[in-house]
Structure formats: structure tokens, C-alpha cells
Amino acid sequence: TTQGSVPTNAMVVYHTYNTNAVPVPDDSGNGWTGTVQGAAVWMSSGKLGGAYSFDGADDYIESSTADVLGSNADKTVAMWVYVRGIQSSDRIFTKNKSSSVLGYSFCQDGSGGNVTAIFNDGVEMRESFTTVSQSNWNHLAATYSETGATVTCYLNGIQVSGSTTPT
């Protein structure tokens, strides 16, 4: 895998899933490709082109950005998701820094369709996207500010939560 340098104040990785290419291409131009793990199935009927379908058990896409995304510097994580059913503590996206507790994730909490953004830089901060529609495409975005210790969540472009208090 050819990997680019880490841009500052720019997109680091952008997996569109518009093709069934192996490895999964990085459309940001930085060369951070992904590898399909498990039995994830590519389909042409995504929100903005293609998409992958995951069985909720052991499917995921491993990005080659492991060390780059491990930083807890200011960041925004965004994605389109199609939720077929709510399972307790299903992870939609996870990035742990090495094997430590530092990292960030989007998780379903199993209580009525809530999805929570979790950022951990030594002190865990959680913010909820509120109820995410099932059987529809939803755009999830969360911003993390290291300097202000804030997490702000957006659901379909609308701010739904924000906090400056670690939990």
C-alpha cells in the first residue's frame, strides 16, 4: 500500500465505496487504502454510489491509516449509514489508538435507535446523535476539539448535541 503524508487542515482519508476495487481506494488522494475483512458485501445501491453491507458480526473495512487516525487532535468524522436494525452496542466506526483506550467511535447503544459518538483522549466524552432513522440513509458527523474539549454531533446536517463536559 502506498501511503501519503498526513495533511494538516485537510481531508485525511475518503472511502467512497463506489467500486468493488481491491484494495478499497482512498479518494482523498493520500493513498490510505482499505481492506475488506469478513464477508462484507459490496453493492452498487449506496447513498452516493456504491456501499458495503455488513452482517453485524465480524465484517469491517480496515483502513491503512491506523497510526495517522490515532491522534486525538481536532478532527471531524463523517459518514452515511443505513441502519437496518438496532443492536446493543454495535459499532459503526471505531478507531482505537494502538491497543490503548485512546481513540474514537460511533456506536449504536441499542436504546431506541440512538447512536453515540465517543472520543477518548484520556478522559472519555460522549455525545448522542439522538434517534437515527431505521431503513433510511442518515448522515452522521461529529467534531472533536482537543483545545476546547468539546464534541459536537450533527445528524443529517443539523446539530443535535454538543458538550464541553467530559463524562
* Residue-level pLDDT at 42: 92
Whether the CB-CB separation of 45 and 108 falls below 8 Å is answered with: no
Q: What is the mean pLDDT of residues 76-86?
A: 83
- Write the pLDDT tens digit of every residue in 22-47: 898 988 888 888 888 888 899 998 89
The whole-chain average pLDDT of the chain stands at 78
- Write the pLDDT tens digit of every residue in 125-149: 777 777 788 888 999 998 888 777 7
Rounded to 5, what percent of the chain is helix, strand, coil?
A: 0, 45, 55
Q: What's the pTM value of the predicted model, to 2 decimals?
A: 0.81
Angle at 79 between CA 52 and CA 3, to 5 degrees: 80
Whether the CB-CB separation of 118 and 89 falls below 8 Å is answered with: no
Provide, rounded to the nearest whole percent, the portion of the chain with pLDDT above 90. 10
- Residue bearing the bigger pLDDT, 141 or 1: 141
